[in-house]
Chains A and B, each alone.
Chain A
Amino acid sequence: MQVKMTVNGEEREADVEARMLLVHYIRDELGLTGTHWGCDTSNCGTCTVSVDGQAVKSCTMLAAMAGGRDVETVEGVAVDGQLDPVQEGFMREHGLQCGFCTPGMIMTAKWLLKRNPNPDEATIREAISGNLCRCTGYENIVRAVRWAAEHPAGSNDTEEVSA
């Protein structure tokens, strides 16, 4: 079946089986391999993407179900080469080690900050409870999200770091 959706602001279309999961559509049909594919059981969260503004696990959604919707992946987070504050935060606070969970963590953190621009540590930990880091680097991930909260896009610090 033809499945058409907006991915990172672009209209994308592919002829796929109805049973194709959104994560495979994104990775294998569109070649956007920033979205990782991990547990396949909606536990690990590394496949997290945004669908119509909601952070969801793309291993547990059919591509067909995302048809006509607005999908954002980690590739769409930076704008015009300018890293998002969340990405800056992960870099500044060493929020990644092996990097496997990072795309999901970033998409969840983006969703959290949109809902709550100034989350405390407990709120951040609750928000990322569906994203597993097997390097167990949660301390720095929480700091990275806090860093992003303290340096929203357009603030001087963000520009300074990017330079």
Chain B
Amino acid sequence: MQVPETFDYERASSIDHAIELLERHGDEARLIAGGHSLLPMMKLRLAFPEVLIDINDVPDLDHIRIDGDQIVVGAMVRHAAILDSALLAEHYPIFRDAERVIADPLVRNRGTIGGSFCQADPAEDLSAVGAALGGSVVIRSSSGDRTVPLRDFHEGPYETKVGDAEILTEIRFPIRPSTGSAYEKVERRVGDWAVVAAGAFVQLDGDTIADVGIGLAAVGASHFIVPEAEAALRGQPATRSSFEAAAQICHDQCSPVADQRGPEDYKRHLARELTLRALTRATARARGEAS
């Protein structure tokens, strides 16, 4: 029987209330959203917050909407809602690709995008999606909102820019024309963490790659990105040989660790192959040749 260490439970009724509770209880307090990362860690005694602040009743955090030239996703949006979102599917089908292979439908009914980002697990899929797309996150404290580029949000495994008395409120993804996106993942069984996964975002100018983003999960890529592979693609023709060159850079520059999911060379091979597939499919979508 897995039982967490004892803690006090508080339930926040608003964002301001959650911040007030965080300030009152200090750095031993943790927010809990869907709980599907934090509770398992608490049950394994890998995490033992003294106070849990439940934000499931907090309104104004579960929106998916367009704001100018950005899609804004509230931190409490559940995986299931991301999977079902026609708006996200229309602009960024990478979300649908990724959500279909995140855990299982019951876990997706609880887990949230904000929780996934803040957990900052190096193998987490939405973080790799976010890295591929770029954008920004909004973090609120009692002194107001601050915006952090999404690619600076993760400071390392299980560490983010969110401070002790702060709450991630929303994630903003830029909407750009002539783009495609895709996510490719290899897992040992349905619902498992990635052995390796790759997300890609491609913006075309005719047959030229105007902009590109690549996000890699579970291969030790700092901030989930490989900037050298992206730099090698910008301005190049959107062809298989361009994609292969970038995928090889991902293979060479990532730093996977051998574990029960596979040896290092296998993971490097997957990083190359999945990057190639994600770039290919994202480009086909940008051209309107794939759904």
Partner-B contacts on A (CB < 8 A): 1, 17-19, 40-43, 45, 48, 54-57, 60-62, 64-65, 67, 108, 126-127, 129-131
Query: A151–B287 Cα gap in the complex (Å)?
Result: 45
How many A-B residue pairs lie within 8 Å, measured between CB atoms? 77
Q: Which residues of B contact A127 (CB under 8 A)?
A: 105
Q: Mark B91-131, 1 if CB is under 8 A from A, else 0.
A: 00000000000011111011000000000000000000000
Are A42 and B40 in contact, CB atoms less than 8 angstroms apart? yes
Query: A55–B2 Cα gap in the complex (Å)?
Result: 22
16 further A-B contacts with Cβ under 8 Å, apart from A57-B106, A61-B39, are: A18-B7, A40-B43, A41-B40, A42-B106, A42-B107, A43-B191, A45-B104, A56-B110, A60-B35, A60-B36, A62-B54, A64-B11, A65-B32, A65-B56, A108-B105, A130-B104
Q: Mark B1-29, 1 if CB is under 8 A from A, else 0.
A: 11111111101000000000000000000
Are A40 and B1 in contact, CB atoms less than 8 angstroms apart? yes
Are B39 and A60 in contact, CB atoms less than 8 angstroms apart? yes
Q: Can you give 30 A-B contacts (C-beta < 8 A)?
A: A18-B6, A18-B8, A19-B3, A40-B1, A41-B2, A41-B40, A41-B43, A42-B40, A42-B103, A42-B106, A45-B106, A54-B109, A56-B106, A57-B106, A57-B107, A60-B35, A60-B110, A61-B35, A61-B39, A62-B9, A62-B52, A64-B9, A64-B11, A65-B35, A65-B54, A65-B56, A108-B105, A129-B104, A129-B190, A130-B107
Taking the nearest CB of chain A, how far is it from the CB of B49, in angstroms?
Answer: 11
Partner-A contacts on B (CB < 8 A): 1-9, 11, 32, 35-36, 39-40, 42-43, 52, 54, 56, 103-107, 109-110, 190-191
Taking the nearest CB of chain A, how far is it from the CB of B12, in angstroms?
Answer: 12
Are B40 and A129 in contact, CB atoms less than 8 angstroms apart? no
Taking the nearest CB of chain A, how far is it from the CB of B36, in angstroms?
Answer: 6
Query: A46–B103 Cα gap in the complex (Å)?
Result: 16
Q: Which residues of B contact A55 (CB under 8 A)?
A: 105-106, 109
Are B6 and A17 in contact, CB atoms less than 8 angstroms apart? yes
| Pairs of residues from A and B, 9 with the lowest C-beta to C-beta distance, nearest first | A130-B104, A18-B9, A130-B106, A64-B9, A54-B109, A19-B4, A40-B2, A129-B104, A129-B190
Q: Which residues of A contact B5 (CB under 8 A)?
A: 19
Taking the nearest CB of chain B, how far is it from the CB of A108, in angstroms?
Answer: 7
Q: Which residues of B contact A57 (CB under 8 A)?
A: 106-107, 110
Contact A130-B36, Cβ < 8 Å, known A40-B2, A61-B110: no
Taking the nearest CB of chain B, how far is it from the CB of A5, in angstroms?
Answer: 13
Are B9 and A42 in contact, CB atoms less than 8 angstroms apart? no
Contact A62-B109, Cβ < 8 Å, known A17-B6, A40-B2, A130-B103: no
Q: Which residues of B contact A42 (CB under 8 A)?
A: 36, 40, 103, 106-107
